[in-house]
Amino acid sequence: MLFRIASAALLGIDAYPVEVEVDVSFGLPQFVIVGLPDAAVRESKERVQAALKNCGYEGQPSKIVVNLAPADRRKEGSSFDLPIALGLLAERGVVPAERLRDRLFLAELALDGRLKPARGVLAATVLARARGFKGIVVAGDNAMEGCLVSGIEVHGLENLVQAVRLIREPETVPPARFESDRLQASEDGDLDYKDVKGQAHAKRALEVASAGAHNLLMIGPPGAGKTMLARRLPTILPPLSFEEIIEATQIYSAAGLLRGRACVAVRPFRAPHHTATDAAMIGGGFVPRPGEVSLAHHGVLFLDELPEFRRGVLEDLRQPVEDGRVTISRVWQAVTFPSRFMLVAAMNPCEEVLRGLAGSGVECTDSQRLRYYAKISGPLLDRIDIRVEVPALRFREVVSRAETEGSAAIRERVIRARDRQNRRFRGTRIFANAQMGPREVKAFCRVDGEGERLLASAAEQLGLSGRGYDRVLKIARTIADLAGGEAIASSHVSEAIQYRLPGPVAAFARDASRRVERSEDRAEAGAGPGRKAMIK
pLDDT one-digit tens code per residue, 346-400: 998 876 665 554 454 567 777 777 777 777 888 888 889 999 989 888 877 777 7
Is the four-CA dihedral 104, 110, 113, 116 of positive or negative sign? negative
Give the residues across from 336 on adjacent strands.
Answer: 327
Task: Answer with the residue of higher pLDDT: 18 or 462.
Answer: 18
Give the pLDDT confidence score for residue 536 in this predicted structure.
39
Beta-sheet strands, E only, within 208-256: 216-219
Q: CA 302 to CA 192: how far, in whole Å? A: 17
Q: What is the pLDDT of residue 505?
A: 53
Q: Report the alpha-carbon angle 341-329-429, nearest 5.
A: 35
Per the model's pLDDT, the better-predicted residue between 361 and 250 turns out to be 250
pTM, 2 dp: 0.87
Res 186 pLDDT > 70: no
* pLDDT one-digit tens code per residue, 84-136: 999 999 999 999 999 999 999 999 999 999 999 999 999 999 999 999 999 99
Instruction: For residue 206, give the nearest of 390, 419, 455 by alpha carbon.
Output: 390
- Which ranges in 329-448 belong to alpha helices (H)? 350-355, 366-373, 378-382, 395-398, 407-424, 438-444
- Gap between the Cα atoms of 146 and 177, Å rounded: 10
Distance of CA 134 to the CA centre of its chain: 31
Run of H or E residues at 67: strand 63-69
Give the whole-angstrom CA distance, residue 454 versus residue 497.
9
The mean predicted confidence, pLDDT, of the chain is: 87
Distance CA 239, CA 30 (A): 54
The mean pLDDT of 478-503, rounded to a whole number, is: 87
- 79 neighbors 48 (Cβ within 8 angstroms): no
Distance CA 224, CA 388 (A): 12
**Domains, the chain, ordered by start:** 2-178 (3.30.230.10)
44-54 vs 81-91: helix axis angle to the nearest 10? 50
In this predicted model, what pLDDT tens digit does every residue of 39-61 receive, in sequence order? Answer: 999 999 999 999 999 999 988 88
